[in-house]
Amino acid sequence: MDFVFDNERPIYLQISSLLRTQIVSGKFQPGEKLPSVRELALAAKVNPNTVQKALTELENEGLIYTERTNGKFVSSDANTILIAKNALAKEKAAKFFEEMQNIGYSDTEALNYINHFGGEGK
């Protein structure tokens, strides 16, 4: 996992966002055990407390859970993960339309662009 942080935003939010993406994209599978707090802290080169705080966020969202002696696991509830995934998709789509609007595209035009020309640059 690559951690690149910008110091401008709370670091725990950046970590929880990164892990959330890994979970909804299936890089961490439902039911899979997560690396320990210490392992994540060393990989991210941050303080373990910061990682703990990020994991608490995800736990509150129901995306992960703690087994008391075993560590933390990704939720096996596909529905919870799907809801989180949709929320992220909505956020990204809203941002896309907003940016298209900034350069003068209406929402319909932006949609048409995606449908007809979007693939061209790829």
Partner 1 sequence: MNILTCNNLTKRFDKTLALDSVNIATEPGKIYGLLGKNGAGKTTLIKLINGLLTPTAGEILFKNEPIGVESKKRISYLPERTYLDRDMTVEKVFDYFADFYENFDRPKAERLLADLDLEKSMKISKMSKGMQEKLQLILVMSRDADLYILDEPLGGVDPATREYILDTILQNFSENASLIISTHIIADIERILDEVIFIDNGKVVLHSAADALRETEGGSIDDIFRRRFKC
Binding site for partner 1 (CB under 8 A): 5-13, 41-42, 45-50, 53
- Distance of alpha carbon 77 from alpha carbon 35, whole angstroms: 20
d(C-alpha 22, C-alpha 74), whole Å: 10
For partner 1, the closer of residues 15 and 110 by Cβ is 15
Q: Which is nearer to partner 1, 4 or 78 (CB)?
A: 4
In the chain, the amino acid numbered 28 is F
- CA angle at 63 for the pair 57 and 64, rounded to the nearest 5°: 80
- Least distance between partner 1 and beta carbon 66 (Å): 17
- Cβ 44 to partner 1, closest distance in Å? 8
Q: Minimum distance from CB of 104 to partner 1 (Å)?
A: 30
Q: Which lies closer to partner 1 via its Cβ, residue 12 or residue 28? A: 12
**Taking every pair of C-alpha atoms in the chain, what is the biggest distance, in angstroms?**
55
